């Protein structure tokens, strides 16, 4: 993949070298890959003597507070930034408030989502990797950057979380080779795994209980809701679903799991997981979202939880039925 992008890589390296103030940014509701990639590239660029500001449109989860640099993350793009780099972001809309406040286009877009719209002046998109963080490891040398312990820990966090501990179908030989390289530069796999995939707050576990009790299962699809009322009752303050969607995929006979999260301002966030081959990114795109074949998300605005559930489940059922009938011929 890198070999096919030599011209773009050369240009990106030159732009990074010439820039005086670089802003690296990621998507809304930032996951481990977004946070790890933003901070990892920040430290690599600072190691090259660059002034860098990390920006994310939403707060960084306390899960990732152990990563160096999280306290520096801002929710604004500096006015004097002369180079804008978007990471792990499929389109400008996924940048949330950062994207809405931009006075000019993104300069460099580095991502691994199949739904990426190539919205920047330079687009470095690799769809065959498990995480943007994995891709960044391979880009370090071509971009004239080096790995150190800070960079390694941030990027391994992105790789571990997006691959669910090296368990997704997109995990391959390259994924493990990049992880090995990060370990050789000081990344702490045991700590990263425990902090991001194993440990849960008491409130998160209580939320699991509430949400799993409300789960319903029908014809290969399991779904549930995370309501504002349930979060307030428990005292769960994060925006997401506490990764309950991953728990639903462990149910025998399930092909698709869907979780609906009620948020403020009439927003409903939807997360899909596929364990049977259905491309859920294609479904998410119908609702303005995106992601990967096996994991995707979208947000609906102006709909109630019940309305969102009805329309999303109808489309998911149709897609699953179509896949069962025609998927093997695609």
Domain locations in the chain as residue ranges = 2-197, 202-329
pLDDT less than 50: residues of the chain: 328-330
* Fold type of domain 202-329: Diaminopimelate Epimerase; Chain A, domain 1 (3.10.310)
pLDDT at residue 290, rounded to an integer: 84
Check if the beta carbon of residue 265 is closer than 8 Å to that of residue 330.
no
pLDDT at residue 242, rounded to an integer: 78
pLDDT at residue 101, rounded to an integer: 86
* Fold type of domain 2-197: inorganic pyrophosphatase (n-terminal core) (3.90.1640)
Nearest to 41 by CA among 122, 126, 114, 108: 108
Cα gap 101→195, rounded to integer Å: 33
CB count within 10 Å of CB 80 equals 10
**Secondary structure class of 110 (helix, strand, coil):** strand
Characterize 234-251 residue by residue with b for buried, 16 or more Cβ atoms within 10 angstroms of its Cβ, and e for exposed.
bebebbbbbbbbbbbbee
pLDDT at residue 123, rounded to an integer: 97
pLDDT at residue 2, rounded to an integer: 55
Rg (C-alpha) for the chain, rounded Å, is 19
Cα gap 2→63, rounded to integer Å: 32
The predicted-structure confidence for 318-327, as pLDDT tens digits, reads as follows: 999 999 998 7
The predicted-structure confidence for 118-143, as pLDDT tens digits, reads as follows: 999 999 999 999 999 999 999 999 99
**Secondary structure class of 203 (helix, strand, coil):** helix
């Amino acid at each position: 993949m890198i070999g096919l992008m030599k011209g773009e890589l050369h240009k990106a390296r030159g732009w990074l070298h010439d820039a005086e103030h670089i802003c690296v940014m990621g998507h809304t509701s930032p996951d481990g890959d977004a946070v790890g990639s933003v901070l990892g590239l920040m430290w690599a660029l600072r190691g090259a003597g660059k002034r860098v500001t990390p920006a994310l449109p939403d707060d960084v989860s306390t899960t990732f507070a152990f990563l160096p640099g999280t306290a520096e993350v801002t929710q604004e793009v500096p006015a004097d930034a002369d180079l804008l780099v978007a990471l792990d972001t499929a389109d400008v809309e996924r940048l949330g408030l950062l994207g809405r406040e931009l006075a000019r286009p993104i300069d460099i877009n580095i991502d691994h989502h199949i739904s990426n719209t190539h919205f920047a002046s330079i687009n470095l998109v690799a769809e065959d990797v498990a995480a943007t963080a994995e891709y960044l490891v391979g880009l370090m040398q071509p971009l004239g950057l080096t790995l150190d312990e800070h960079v390694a820990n941030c990027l391994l966090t992105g790789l571990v979380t997006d691959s669910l501990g090296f368990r997704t179908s997109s995990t391959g030989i390259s994924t493990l080779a990049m992880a090995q390289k990060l370990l050789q530069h000081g990344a702490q796999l045991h700590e990263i795994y425990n902090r991001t995939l194993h440990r849960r707050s008491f409130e998160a576990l209580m939320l699991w209980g509430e949400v799993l009790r409300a789960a319903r299962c029908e014809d290969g699809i399991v779904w549930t809701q995370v309501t504002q009322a349930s979060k307030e009752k428990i005292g769960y303050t994060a925006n997401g679903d506490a990764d309950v969607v991953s728990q639903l995929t462990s149910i025998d006979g399930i092909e698709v799991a869907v979780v609906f999260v009620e948020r403020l301002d009439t927003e409903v966030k939807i997360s899909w997981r596929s364990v049977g081959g259905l491309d859920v990114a294609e479904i998410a795109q119908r609702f303005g979202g995106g992601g990967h074949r096996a994991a995707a998300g979208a947000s609906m605005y102006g709909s109630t939880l019940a309305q969102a559930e009805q329309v999303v489940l109808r489309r998911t059922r149709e897609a699953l039925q179509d896949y069962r009938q025609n998927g093997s011929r695609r």
